[in-house]
Amino acid sequence: MSAAGQTTASTKPAAEASAPVLEAIGLTISVRGEEGEREVVSDLSFSLARGETLCIAGESGSGKSMTSLAIMGLLPQPAAHLSKGSIRFGNLDLSNLPESQMRRIRGDRIAMIFQEPMTSLNPVLSIGRQIMEAIEVHTPMSRREARRRAIDALKSVRIPDAERRLDNYPHELSGGMRQRVMIAMALALKPDILIADEPTTALDVTVQGEVLELLRDLQRETGTSLILITHDMGVVAEMADRVIIMRNGRMVEEGKAVDIFASPQTDYTRELLAAVPRMRVGAEARQAPEDPQASAGVPAPVATVRGLQVRFDLHGGFFGRVDRRVHAVESVSFSIARDETLSLVGESGCGKSTTAKAIAGLVPYSGDIAIDGRSLHGLSAAERNAVRRDVQMIFQDPYASLDPRMRVGDLVAEPLLIHRIGSREERRNQVASLFERVGLSADQMDRYPHEFSGGQRQRICIARALALKPKLIIADESVSALDVSVQARVLKLLKDLQREFGVAYLFISHDMAVVENISDRVAVMYLGQIVEMGTRDQVFSNPRHPYTRRLIEAVPVPDPKLRRTHFARLDREIPSAVRQVGDPPPLLHLHDAGGGHLVAQ
Amino acid sequence: MIAYIGRRLIQSALILLGVSIITFALLYLLPADPVRQIAGRSATPQTVENIRQQLGLDQPFFVQYWRYLTNLLTGDLGRSYIQRSEVSELIVSRLPASLLLMLGAIFCELAIGLTMGLVAATKRGSATDQTLMLTSFVGVSAPQFVVGLLLLYVFAVRLGWFPIGGYGTWKHLVLPSLTLGVLGAGWYARMMRSSMIDVLRQDYIRTARAKGLRRGTILVRHALPNAILPVVAMIGIDIGIFMGGIVVVESVFGWPGIGQLAWQAIQRVDIPIIMGVTLVSACAIVLGNLLADIVAPFIDPRIKLR
């Protein structure tokens, strides 16, 4: 088989340009579950041309990842298997290739990178070792030669100081760096096909921009065909030559990227594109209707934060004394009015979630926080808890934030129970009305969390947060884990509830498009400090701070005609928030650039 | 690293001090009277009182303890009441046998337990898996003296492969090590299985498969080092369990280690020996744990010693 493989590889340039590298014909994947066998991908056919980028897009459960695993022969055994169809790769049929032959194709001819760079590399092996073994397993060579190839691979993904990096372990690298290592590993042997399964979903938006551009450049250099699996229509628009839209295991639509975005043929594609949160571009932004309360004068703030500071001590040395500190949040001040949504944006580690936790009383802090005019400073623990009843949180992961052993009705009633509000009957009635309010029915109250979908669970979390009629709800990446169509509906629900109850939101997100969609005001955080704060229009239409500009620029626009040709690279990583004791970071001073638009100098 | 070890050694010394106080107090409160044991049944009250004074056992608790502690710091563990020889010499002469037995047992535990767990995890749900887990369950629940006698009966008496007891050649070592190791092997098999199943589900194993690595390479290079971590931490704790097991196993096989020494001393209320053996055991446990902690960062580079 190896010989046959070599022949195909060597005839690569001679092959006609139009011959597909890979062809899937009538692909059907079944998964054995408790209720018998179920098709997760049905009768899928497509072809991939040399050098082409094919995006397979769809929401969770559409079968896009299963398709990619099937091509690699990595379907989770023994539950999933290829029940029908074939996968033609050159003159081979991958669907019935014995494992020993399939193994020689994996990594050499077809390579794959995965969604989670944090967990996709083995934590106990140095990255050099991991790249070298990928090379050595297919092309026998000396240690030294393998090492040289590994250094080349790291250089090709633009990792600075590649030689030294080789001896690093994965935990010493950031998420973006790790994904580059994955790409280096996958492309080291110049495969015919690279399958990238949500390669940038777990990355910050600026890093996403860099990784996508890198993939594009490398593809141009090596002529590798790319199958990109993604749920993000912005990424599709940025990368795809052709697009396959999938839903519930079936292909809904296929076509050139430009055509699909310009004139989608099916209702589902239209819905999917409509649900994508878009950032308004230039002049269009101006046409958005003004928020009614923006002109109604300044309402009294629901929450005020003054000089908030959160630091975590790190211990070291012989006696375990504090020798370094994480400056998670430094001198952050803002206020949120009734009915208002303030968004905190920034990349991972910028301190946005820590700020939220401090307000909710989940981490120790210094500085002053006042809720509804009552300062928490100098209050006893019991008094603070009473004030904090007005602050509730909705978390990111709707799967992890509901106790699987409790009925959802009891979960929503729990805050009432803790604060001893109402009789059993009253509580039940209130929970029923909350369920109906968030778009669930009251007879679902006696079910368990696992019986609900992700979007429904997030609705349950919202109902739970609303139970105590809080004045401020902190939504920490609350829609990030949801599919776009579900996300759009949950965002609409949040807005409706705000109008109805007058609740204020502190909305924390890394997704600039979502933030632009929901916010009244926006604060941009970088390394624990606010670098820019203003109304949505001020920040998005007239970003002043370079970091804000970079963040906005990095968001892929869901329109292939507006595809960026070049994305400015950041040569260095974001510096660390860990500093020596006695060396606090310099504090930024915000100055007013007009109309309350605060920008750090 | 050196600072860490230094700090841990200071901590260890404090732990040993605590152990010495507690053991000394427990022995002091014991209703059995060592002096009666030494003097014998026919001794006159005067003789008994003389011996008591001679040994300093008529002094108050704190005086006795203080004297023991100050002697201890100079390396003097006292003299045995019955055997009339230095406790430290007794222990030193018997310690190598016990350490050898312990090493043998650790080897058995790891070799049997890890292999069983590894095989069970890779064949999860199969008949092999179920048989191995049932075996490990028996290993965990069977009392050591029963295992010892059973092994003796089958392999020494019936088959004659190994000697019935004694000390000297590697053949003498096999059955006692097995007996001592069976319990741990059962635990390790179960731990290794669950740890391995967990590791095999990880994304990096999928990455390794996507590279086209051989199954064996994936298991040995990628899965094993990750799965073995919790087991390494257990070895430190295991030494403590061994110390209990050694008393039984050494008696069953007539193995001349400190377990037997302790057993004889307990029967005769020979307090200095009991104290000495307890302190040496405590030392072994503390050092074993320290060793396990020092080894961990070499397996997993994410672990930092601070």
Q: Is the pLDDT of residue A555 over 70?
A: yes
pLDDT on residue A523? 94
pLDDT on residue B58? 81
Please name the helix (run of DSSP H) or strand (run of DSSP E) that holds residue A185, with its range, or none. Answer: helix A175-187
Tokens of A445: 């109250």
The number of residues in chain B equals 306
Chains A, B: CB pairs < 8 Å? 80
Residue A11 half-sphere exposure, CB side, CA atoms within 13 Å? 12
Instruction: State residue A579 phi and psi, 5-degree precision.
Output: -135, 160
In the numeric block, the tokens 């594009």 are attached to: A216
pLDDT on residue A10? 41
pLDDT digits (tens, 9 = 90+) for B52-98: 888 888 888 888 888 888 888 888 888 887 777 888 888 888 888 88
Chain B residue with minimum CA distance to A139: B212
pLDDT on residue B263? 86
pLDDT on residue A296? 47
Could you tell me if A372 and A471 are in contact, meaning their C-beta atoms sit under 8 angstroms apart? Answer: yes
Contact B212 A72 (CB under 8 A): no
Distance, CA of A182 to CA of A113 (rounded, Å): 6
pLDDT digits (tens, 9 = 90+) for A191-211: 999 999 988 887 788 888 888
Read off the pLDDT of each residue in B151-177 and give the average, rounded to a whole number.
85
Residue B11 or B243, more confident:
B11
SS (HEC) of chain B: CHHHHHHHHHHHHHHHHHHHHHHHHHHHHCCCCHHHHHHCCCCCHHHHHHHHHHHCCCCCHHHHHHHHHHHHHCCCCCECCCCCCEHHHHHHHHHHHHHHHHHHHHHHHHHHHHHHHHHHHHCCCCHHHHHHHHHHHHHHHCCHHHHHHHHHHHHHHHCCCCCCCCCCCHHHHHHHHHHHHHHHHHHHHHHHHHHHHHHHCCHHHHHHHHCCCCHHHHHHHHHHHHHHHHHHHHHHHHHHHHHHHHHHHHHHHCCCCHHHHHHHHHHCCCHHHHHHHHHHHHHHHHHHHHHHHHHHHHHCCCCCCC
pLDDT on residue A320? 67
Q: How confident is the model at residue A566 (pLDDT cuts 50, 70, 90)?
A: low
Q: Is the pLDDT of residue A160 over 90?
A: no
pLDDT digits (tens, 9 = 90+) for A443-461: 889 999 888 888 888 899 9
pLDDT on residue A535? 92
Tell me whether B2 touches chain A (CB under 8 Å). no
Tell me whether B3 touches chain A (CB under 8 Å). yes
Q: How far is A324 from chain B (nearest CA, A)?
A: 13
Q: How far is B298 from chain A (nearest CA, A)?
A: 9
pLDDT on residue A281? 47
Could you tell me if B271 and B28 are in contact, meaning their C-beta atoms sit under 8 angstroms apart? Answer: no
Which chain B residues touch A133 with a CB distance below 8 Å? 211, 213, 217, 221
pLDDT on residue A306? 92
pLDDT on residue A111? 93
pLDDT on residue A298? 60
pLDDT on residue A286? 41
> Mutate which of A104, A106, A119, A122 to test chain B, going by most B C-beta atoms within 10 A?
A122
- E-strand ranges in A90-224 read 92-93, 110-113, 193-197
The number of residues in chain A equals 601
pLDDT on residue A569? 60
Contact B207 A318 (CB under 8 A): no
Q: What's the mean per-residue pLDDT of chain A?
A: 85
Q: How confident is the model at residue A287 (pLDDT cuts 50, 70, 90)?
A: very low
Please name the helix (run of DSSP H) or strand (run of DSSP E) that holds residue A579, with its range, or none. Answer: strand A578-580
Which chain B residues touch A72 with a CB distance below 8 Å? 210
Read off the pLDDT of each residue in A560-574 and give the average, rounded to a whole number.
65
Read off the pLDDT of each residue in B187-196 and give the average, rounded to a whole number.
92
CA A451 to chain centre: 24
CA B97 to chain centre: 13
What does the longest C-alpha to C-alpha distance in chain A come to? 80
pLDDT on residue A568? 58
Could you tell me if A228 and A200 are in contact, meaning their C-beta atoms sit under 8 angstroms apart? Answer: no
pLDDT on residue A318? 61
pLDDT digits (tens, 9 = 90+) for A390-400: 999 998 888 88
- Which among B3, B203, B302 has the least Cβ separation from residue A171? B302
Residue A289 or A124, more confident:
A124
pLDDT digits (tens, 9 = 90+) for A322-351: 778 888 899 999 999 988 999 999 888 788
pLDDT digits (tens, 9 = 90+) for B270-306: 888 888 888 888 888 888 888 888 888 888 888 877 6
Read off the pLDDT of each residue in A144-163 and give the average, rounded to a whole number.
87
pLDDT on residue B231? 85
Tell me whether A105 touches chain B (CB under 8 Å). yes
Residue A525: partners with Cβ closer than 8 Å, 6 or more residues away: A332, A344, A345, A346, A350, A351, A352, A355, A531
Whether cis (ω within 30° of 0) applies to the bond prior to A78 is: yes
pLDDT digits (tens, 9 = 90+) for A84-119: 899 999 888 988 889 899 999 998 999 999 888 888
Contact B306 A315 (CB under 8 A): yes
pLDDT on residue A475? 92
Q: Is the pLDDT of residue A282 over 50?
A: no
Q: How far is A106 from chain B (nearest CA, A)?
A: 5
Which whole-number Å values give the CA distances from B104 to B107, B111, B163, B180, in the listed order? 5, 10, 16, 9
Tell me whether B208 touches chain A (CB under 8 Å). yes
Q: Is the pLDDT of residue B241 over 70?
A: yes
Question: Which of B72, B90, B73 has the alpha carbon at shortest distance from B81?
Answer: B90
Distance, CA of A431 to CA of A434 (rounded, Å): 5
Distance, CA of A470 to CA of A91 (rounded, Å): 64
Could you tell me if A345 and A550 are in contact, meaning their C-beta atoms sit under 8 angstroms apart? Answer: no
Could you tell me if A248 and A61 are in contact, meaning their C-beta atoms sit under 8 angstroms apart? Answer: yes
Which chain A residues touch B213 with a CB distance below 8 Å? 103, 107, 133, 137
Chain A residue with minimum CA distance to B211: A107
Which is it for strands A250-256 and A242-247: parallel, antiparallel or unpaired? antiparallel
Could you tell me if A497 and A489 are in contact, meaning their C-beta atoms sit under 8 angstroms apart? Answer: no
Contact B210 A105 (CB under 8 A): no
pLDDT digits (tens, 9 = 90+) for B214-229: 989 999 999 999 998 8
Which is it for strands A53-58 and A242-247: parallel, antiparallel or unpaired? parallel
Q: Is the pLDDT of residue B33 over 70?
A: yes
Distance, CA of A254 to CA of A247 (rounded, Å): 12
pLDDT on residue B24? 87
pLDDT on residue A228? 93
Chain B residue with minimum CA distance to A129: B221
pLDDT on residue A345? 92
* Least confident piece of the model among A213-227, A352-366, B67-81, B93-107: B67-81
User: By three-state DSSP, how is residue A328 classified?
Assistant: strand
Which chain A residues touch B301 with a CB distance below 8 Å? 123-124, 126, 169, 171
CA B171 to chain centre: 21
Tell me whether A317 touches chain B (CB under 8 Å). yes
In the numeric block, the tokens 């963040």 are attached to: A551
Residue B199: partners with Cβ closer than 8 Å, 6 or more residues away: B205, B223, B226, B227
Q: Count other Cβ atoms within 10 Å, centred on residue A206.
A: 21
Please name the helix (run of DSSP H) or strand (run of DSSP E) that holds residue A413, with its range, or none. Answer: helix A408-418
pLDDT on residue B306? 66
pLDDT on residue A3? 42
pLDDT on residue A574? 61
pLDDT on residue A144? 92
Tell me whether A2 touches chain B (CB under 8 Å). no
Read off the pLDDT of each residue in B132-148 and give the average, rounded to a whole number.
88
Q: Is the pLDDT of residue A15 over 60?
A: no
Q: Is the pLDDT of residue B265 over 50?
A: yes
pLDDT on residue A408? 92
Read off the pLDDT of each residue in A164-178 and give the average, rounded to a whole number.
85
Distance, CA of B165 to CA of B147 (rounded, Å): 15
* Least confident piece of the model among A16-25, A124-133, B269-278: A16-25
pLDDT on residue B257? 86
pLDDT digits (tens, 9 = 90+) for A230-254: 988 888 988 999 999 999 889 999 9
Q: How far is A240 from chain B (nearest CA, A)?
A: 23
Contact B210 A317 (CB under 8 A): no
Q: Is the pLDDT of residue A521 over 90?
A: yes
Distance, CA of A338 to CA of A503 (rounded, Å): 6
Distance, CA of B257 to CA of B261 (rounded, Å): 7
pLDDT digits (tens, 9 = 90+) for A405-424: 999 999 999 999 988 888 89
Q: How confident is the model at residue A284 (pLDDT cuts 50, 70, 90)?
A: very low
